Structure 1
Amino acid sequence: MSPPRKIIHVDMDAFYASVEQRDDPSLRGRPVVVAWRGMRSVVCAASYEARRFGVRSAMPAVRAERLCPEAVFVPPDFTRYRAVSRQVREIFARHTALIEPLSLDEAYLDVTADTSGLGSATATAEAIRAAIRAELQLTASAGVAPNKFLAKLASDWRKPDGLFVIRPDSAAAVIASQPVGRIPGVGQVMQRRLETRGYHRIGDLAAADVTELVQHFGRYGRRLHELALGIDDHPVKPDRPVQSVSSEDTFAEDLPLEALEPAIRALAAKTWRGRGKTARVPRTVVLKLKTADFRIISRHLTPERPPDSADALAAYALSLRLRVGLPSETRYRLVGVGLTQFTDADDARVQADLFLA
């Protein structure tokens, strides 16, 4: 049998808020909320000082302001956050080429091969955290484990600015007392379903009958049982190909469908830029809408010729308004434009030729 993998999950601490506090000394030690003010805004990030008041990411900004009247609201600067994220990635790359980013502020690293010569995954994680602190004046938490699932659990164990190691021979015992909601992918709805059937802790799932789990939760039941036993065979996948990219905007006031064209054009341009330098071709255009009563709808179009510019993307997205099918008096609070089903350029040309055959 091959030896266990050595996986590190690095998670930057309150990343957006920490960057703001680093770059503006007047914000240090104060409750910082990264968000635009307003009824429609949501929190992008909150400093640990703000979290003590119950402020959390994705919370409505007005609620955050009620919870923490002294909070300092800072509008997000994603260009700056992306630049810092690239600096963090450069530090990772000194230790391994096997890096799988999950977002701007977290990533998996496979350090099974000790290319940096530090002798252990734990030493490598410590070196990465020390470099982030010394070079970027930021802190990161890390988890070290034999697989991705356990490493992600471990990185949250001693936040902020902490390190936790889960060893292969004690994994199941270490995680047994954790609530099932700590399992990645188990949201509030699934957590309630699990708890209704008596599965409150990860150890409850480990001790459960697999057949019963599959009966109630399908194939996901088997996956839950494996994770509860500390089993996860998914490898770190560096440089994952682009699968989708999108942008969306929430309006200050609800708008009718015919008034959305300026926003759709602006979002199409932003989404097109968001493709980056990928040579992969997007096959499907998505228009997302949220009505004034919070109903979310989406419409998709896979054209014969994929969009080759922001203007072409905008034209396709605008055409999708004809497929919305809601009453004309409907008002919308949010619109989004996306691209999905990216394929290699050669595959896209073959598909286009088939349409024309």
Structure 2
Amino acid sequence: MIDEMVQPIIDKLNGSTKVLIVLPQQPGGDDLGAALALSGYLKKLGKEITIISPTTTSPRFNFLPGYQDIVRSIKLNRSFVIDVNTKQTTVEELSYSQEPDKVSIYLKPKQGEFSKEDVSFRSLGYAFDVVITLGVASPEHLGEFYNRTTELFFGTPVINIDHQAYNENFAQFNLVDLSASSCSEIVFDLMKKLAPVQIDQDTATNLLTGIIIETNSFQHTRTTPQAFSKASELIGLGARQQEIINALFKNKSLGLLKLWGRVLARLKQDPAIRLVHSVSALTDLEKSEASEEDIQQIIKEMMNQLSFARLFVFIREIDDLHSEIHSATTAPVSLSAMFAAFKPEVLGQTTRFIMPLGLNEAEGEILNILRAEMGKS
């Protein structure tokens, strides 16, 4: 972590009271763990913290301390201010009346009269001193939440924390560390520089959860010696490792396990662009009895278990004329830009969209696009 990047962020956080932490759509365990850890730590420093997830969070992570504090919506009402210049005419009395369709404000001057030139209007800023995004490569990846709150992002200082190579460094303060294996690692380092406050067991558990998930329990190729070192330090601080393992790896649904077996049976790869992909017909989904959450989990399983690749694609059949594509990458490319023609939705590390093609045709089209685009890089 580069000190020149960190010190301005520390100064901004120290000077802030109300902090909004924004998660990506369908946040993963690293996003959640880092956000909850940072929230708990900042609360110890006397900050008021709000964590918002634009989409629902998986109940798989409800064991995380503070999980229940995550909200789905926030009120961003700003006060409308009417300023009256009193240099020439001072106020003796102020009153107002309210009717169903209007509010009237009355100013009685001590002497002289007020004119319309004495009156001006403005809006106060939003109720947050700073916004922190975690695991958000671009504000557009927040989907409808960003569309509704664009003024918040333009009018409030933003701290962008991420470890993804395709992060767009969109904020006033960018803490994007490509050498880190997870956002939780970055947040852990930030905490240690921010203030000499003891990291408690709950905070350590949240951070260790993020590291374990993002490194697939330290089996992924992106696992670094620093990740092992930080995990060891967090366990020393009281992180509940066995609780994490039980919650994450011993509770996979039968539907997910059945579907994952079918995905592996149909797995194909293109070594030239380090692509692995698989397809599932409607019959696969029906026989496995996989839930929607199980289907969303497949691309994450591919990334965790098939770490020799850098491009991951899972295609599910919707009907004879439509297929849903789930894609992800560890390469420094934007899949949302690559598949822009299909109006994709970015959900955490997954780029998802529907193609108006049957399963075989969709598979062929996706491969053509990826081979053409990755051949340029």
Q: TM-score, normalised by structure 1?
A: 0.28
Q: TM-score, length-normalised on structure 2?
A: 0.27
